[in-house]
Chains A and B, each alone.
Chain A
Amino acid sequence: MKVITVTLNPALDREFIIEGFAVNAYHRIKTQDHMVMNPGGKGINVSMALAKLGVSSIAVGIIGGYTGRVLLTELNKVSPLISTSFVHIEEETRENIVIVDPVNHTMTSINSPGPRVDKKAVELLLKRYEIYLSRAEAVVLSGSLPQGLTGEIYGKMAKMAREKGRMVFFDMIDEYLTEALEICVPDVVKPDVRGSFTVLGERLESLEDYVEAAASLVKRGCKLVVISYEIKNDVVATQDGVWLISTDEKVEPENILGAGDAYVAAMVYKRLTGTSTSMLEIAKFGYAAALAKTKKLTKEMPEYEEINRALGSCTLERLR
């Protein structure tokens, strides 16, 4: 297992493809393949994307109740490259619902908060995590937290990983990121700005705000920072400067489910397989993976060849 992915608030994802979806209306789902149930939560998605790229990982976290057991059963079927170790609690793991409408090009998401996690479950998890760190090269800490946990847990886990010389990747909302950074600075960070448009407590409006936020995170010690700017542009910062990655290709907003996780997985893959690869190249490969993912309607992760094809349509513009 080369990579540990941490999913503290996993979800059983339910995707429904409904043409002409409208609120306050009766919808009948056409066929079985228009309703998909699969394991979810950012870390788990990263594990599934890594498996597509031939990288083995161990998915760890906290799951609960009947839904948690269904999730684990499904996850164990995905690939022999994914090992699991979840602490089980009694409260039910959440279910996330996504309604994709390919006619109106919309994606409606309903995400639940998740169970309350007690101190004992966290202690058990940290103990296991420490053991698994002995065999990993990189750790991905991403996604929402269940009730009862704060960003401190991410900081703590990052610190444990860094102390053992492991690479640390963050993909989380600003609330957790700000708290975690007080304890440990990761190697790579991709702040989740969906909905909040906030990084380090600052609201991002203009492109200059995004550039400033990315540069501030590099100044704090991150080697690579990626912030989504509008749907198909990303601001990328390294110690050598700040760039805008973009594409001329059309991106359908209803296909973006899991694209951020494909992005992180591809960056991990590139970092692990090409030690001499520049941080900018790593970000570009991640961007290409996200772009390749958007060619698929459901949360199916891209293959290496698909990512390579998408690389050809990525453009880089230096901003600073």
Chain B
Amino acid sequence: MRVYDVMVRDVTAVTQDDSVENVVRIMATQFLSGVPVVTEDMRVIGFVSESDIIRAAIPGYFSLLQSTTFIPDMSQFLKMAAKLKDKPVREIMAHPPLVVNENASLAHVADLMIKHNVKILPVVDEHGRLLGVITRTNIVRAAMEGYL
């Protein structure tokens, strides 16, 4: 089975000058864990995920501590988060992005997701233009039906 068969044909995306606040709004209202970043002709040039946003809002050492108890001053974190919302997406997006072609096999995509620890990937055509997204759930569902 190919990506084409199970992908979600939703081409919701942002451009690199969109604000982080806009991205968070899209992610919150559409229950997405990440959004592709595209050029004016819809070529995918980046991807911004929950992790990218969280990483940009907290001190670098936080991921090692795994608890908010160690943040000495919570107001500093809130200040960083407030500053972040007006920043353009290009400052925090993953670039170049990890993408998959619509004709790729699901086994290949599953492998990529495991290796890079991602939940969602943009699907592109042969010119790198956005066609939709594929999620871990799409793949697990196909596997349960015996189609991987």
A122 CB to closest chain B CB (Å) equals 13
Which of B10, B41, B131 has a CB less than 8 Å from the CB of A134? B41
Which residue of A76, A80, A124 contacts B10 across the interface (Cβ within 8 Å)?
A76
Do the beta carbons of A83 and B129 come within 8 Å of each other?
A: no
Q: Report the separation of the CA atoms of residues A232 and B129 in the bound assembly, to the nearest whole angstrom.
A: 43
Smallest Cβ-Cβ distance to A133: which chain B residue? B40
Contact among A58, A84, A131 with B40 in the assembled complex (CB-CB below 8 Å)? A131
Is chain A's binding surface mostly helix, strand, loop or mixed?
A: mixed
A85 and B10: CB pair below 8 A? yes
- Which of the residues B25, B38, B131 comes within 8 Å of A131, measured between beta carbons? B38
Interface string of A114-144 (1 = CB under 8 A from B): 0000001000100110111011000000000
For A68, give the chain B residue with the smallest CB separation: B29
Q: How far is the CA of A85 from the CA of B42 in the complex (A)?
A: 13
Kindly state whether residue A2 has any CB partner on chain B within 8 Å.
no
In the complex, A136 Cα to B50 Cα: how many Å? Answer: 31
Q: Mark B10-26, 1 if CB is under 8 A from A, else 0.
A: 11110100100010011
B68 within 8 A of A: no
Count CB-based A-B contacts (< 8 Å): 49
Query: Which residues in B have their C-beta under 8 angstroms from that of A132?
Result: 11, 42
Chain B: minimal CB distance from A48 (Å): 14
Name the distance in Å between B93's Cβ and chain A's nearest Cβ: 16
Bound form: Cα–Cα A83–B12 in Å: 10
Q: Given A134-B40, A134-B41, A134-B42, are A83 and B15 also a contact pair (CB < 8 Å)?
A: no
Kindly state whether residue B9 has any CB partner on chain A within 8 Å. yes
Chain B residues, CB < 8 A from A127: 15, 18
In the complex, which residues of chain A have a beta carbon less than 8 angstroms from the beta carbon of B118? none
Asked whether, in the complex, the Cβ of A84 is within 8 Å of the Cβ of B42, the reply is: no
Scoring A90, A128, A130 by chain B CB atoms within 10 A of each residue's CB, the highest score goes to A128
**Cβ-defined contact, B42 with A135, below 8 A:** yes
Given the contacts A88-B29, A135-B42, A76 and B9 also touching, CB distance less than 8 Å: yes
- Determine whether the beta carbon of B42 is less than 8 Å from that of A131: yes
A290 within 8 A of B: no
B34 close to chain A: CB less than 8 A:
no
- CB-nearest residue of chain A to B12: A85
Given A88-B30, A124-B22, verify A80-B11 contact (CB < 8 Å).
Answer: no
State how many angstroms separate the Cβ of B134 from the closest Cβ of chain A: 13
Q: Is A172 an interface residue (CB 8 A)?
A: no
A124, A131, A134 pick with most chain B CB within 10 angstroms: A131
Interface residue from A80, A86, A89 paired with B4 (Cβ < 8 Å): A80
A82 within 8 A of B: yes
Task: Decide: A84 and B29 in contact? CB cutoff 8 A.
Answer: no
Contact (Cβ within 8 A) B4 A85: no
Inter-chain contact B11/A84, CB cutoff 8 Å: yes
Given contacts A89-B29, A124-B22, A131-B15, contact A84 B41 (CB under 8 A): no
**Which residue of A has the minimal Cβ distance to B102?**
A80
| B123 vs chain A, min Cβ distance (A) | 11
Q: Determine the residue in chain A with the shortest Cβ distance to B31.
A: A69
- Per-position binary interface string of chain A over residues 72-104, scored 1 when its CB falls under 8 Å from any chain B CB and 0 otherwise: 100010001011111011100000000000000
How far does the alpha carbon of A128 sit from the alpha carbon of B18 in the complex, in Å?
Answer: 11
Out of B9, B25, B129, name the residue touching A84 (CB < 8 Å): B9
A102 to chain B, nearest CB (A): 35
Docked complex Cα distance between A84 and B4 (Å): 15
State in angstroms the CA–CA spacing of A86 and B38 once bound together: 16
Interface residues of A in 51-65 (CB under 8 A from B): 58
Residues of B within 8 A of A135 (CB): 41-42, 129
Q: Which residues of B are at the interface with A, using a C-beta cutoff of 8 A?
A: 4, 8-13, 15, 18, 22, 25-26, 29-30, 38, 40-42, 129, 131-132
- Taking Cβ atoms with an 8 Å cutoff, the residues of A that contact B are 58, 72, 76, 80, 82-86, 88-90, 120, 124, 127-128, 130-132, 134-135
Can you spell out 20 A-B residue pairs with CB atoms less than 8 angstroms apart? A58-B11, A72-B10, A76-B9, A80-B4, A83-B9, A83-B11, A84-B11, A85-B11, A88-B30, A120-B25, A124-B26, A127-B18, A130-B40, A131-B13, A131-B40, A131-B42, A132-B11, A134-B42, A135-B41, A135-B42
